[in-house]
Structure 1
Amino acid sequence: MDNPVASAAAPERPEFAQWLNSLDVDQAQTAANVLAMAELLGAFVTVKSLANGRYVYASKGMDMLFERVESTIAGSTDADLMRIDEVQAMRRVEQAVMAQGHAVLSEHRMELGGRRREFSVARMALGGEHVMALWTERTDERHRETHLQRALQQIEQQQKTMEQLRRELQQGSGRDDVSGLYLRAQFDDQLLREIDLSTREHREFALVLIALDPLPPANAELGEEAQQRMLEGMGRMLRANTRAMDAACRVGPHHFAVLLSGVGLATAHARMEQLRRQCIAQIIVLNGHDLGLSLSMGVASFPHTASKQEELLHASQTAVQEAQRRGGNQVVLAPIPFATEI
């Protein structure tokens, strides 16, 4: 009795229908469903007999790949289509599929039509006599990856050159060697001056504390050099996004502070949110890896959040910790206390 799945799945390919008829109903249904979904996604599909090494089915995409315009590769063997080293690679993976009893994904490079092409091939056993393979071409994707790596290498070299020039220019300036920003001592002096000026002139300013979020595990393994690149990148971003009247400083191993002169809480929040977004888009490269720059920020305002130096620092530090508690990559405003009447 004919398998109903076979006649529904591939009436135009008798050799494939014959193969499906050799399977039980469940196997045939699975095979037909996988083939239909794969071809909708543009994958090339083959089914090969292990008994004689011949393809019993090949989607039209495979026929075009091997330049079979008026025929199909069904009935052919790998030796009819490929070089000997490519045939051997195919055979090794098929043997692994049958031995392991589960799907196996492999990568293959082939010379087709005078062009080097790359494929990801997922294989699974169908019964004990056939192997189904889904071919996905990766040639253009691999080319894009290669171009991206070259671009990242160029960016990395440019960043190294810029940082070396910066260090040479700022020698003896009292700035941090790594970030190029003022150090904690200058920050404390500037904060006192800003409090005094704002008190006398009855104006406000904002204090922003910034913490570098931890690197993702894959990048954290790059070690101290990765941390240095992050600090350099943070320095570049703060120097480019603060005014001459502001003060950007490195106040700890992974912490920074920014004084925004004459700026209120709402404006400070908007500016730091813009900086956060720019930092996410910033490319910081080490050994071909984009490290990513993620920040947690706490924004406090004088005199609305606090009117004393210690209280202002504490408020912004608490806001930073809250940003980190929420998972990082956040800008958190310190709350404005409201006096209660007795």
Structure 2
Amino acid sequence: MTDIHQQALSARADQAHALTTALGLAPQAWGVVAMSLLDRAEAMFAIKEAATGRYVHANPRMQALFGRSADGLVDEEWVDPQACAALRTADQSAMVVTVPQVSEHRLELGGVRREFSVTRLALPSADGGAAKYLCCIWQDLTPQRQAETQLQLALRQLEEQQQANETLRREMQDHGLRDSVTGLYQRGHFDDQLRREVDLSSREHREFALVSVALDPLGEAARASGSEGRKRVLEALGRLLRSNTRAMDASCRLSEDRFAVLLSGVGLATAHARMEGLRRQCATQLVMLNGQDLGFTVSMGVASFPHTAHTQEDLLQAADTALSQAQKRGGNHVTLASIRFEA
């Protein structure tokens, strides 16, 4: 132990002696206080011989942890080698300082993993020489850690339940907004989003595209399959419309065979390119029922705000007019609305 550490121990001893003398306390007063507080705190207390690591004293709670008497006991006799090495290292560290050292240890005792906090303090010798004994105060953290683990598990389960409830709420809310066959938004939600997009584009002077989509007359195989075949075609078209639109876009089923797609922040040329790709996907999509490919095609009319229309009503009309032209060309076609030029 260094001179500085020895001086610190001596200073503390002088303080304790001065206080004992000033209050007229018995020499053993501090020991009585310490032992009483340890019992009150239900702590496990032991004293070890610094040189050999042998226990020279242990209170009943500590002996219960050992499972035997502490006389002459060493750590190798009650813990595994790895835990013993960790205890010994902590002991040696505590012997060279004058302040209490705290460390945590995990021990496997009786087939049960337990966690402890150990506070160590070197005990000064009466002759002022190097400390020979080490005081160890053990606290069992196992119940506290188990309670913390259970609390974390309960909080995690509560959070998962809240997330599940929120997901269910959104799904139920979303379910009321979507068509049950195609999975696309219904007309009311689409109209709201279109109004918001018109307002946003008017304020920020940016464009967006609106696409009117119509299912072309079905082929013979699809007509022969009746309502089930028609449902299969609508389901396939709904999947393609959803997969070709982004989160900020909106796809809607307006009526039995009519659909609309809102492409946020997209110009006329980009909208045409994307819809042309969608048209090709529809034309080559396999829709199987009873071993037959039903197949289908769509016609599309693409309009842009504000290049082809300056109001929401004009935009809808422009997209429908372009769609009619695509249908007149025999279907399976994408037509652009005419760009308006202002004087």
- TM-score, length of structure 1 as denominator length: 0.49
Structure with max Cα Rg: 2
- TM-score, length of structure 2 as denominator length: 0.49
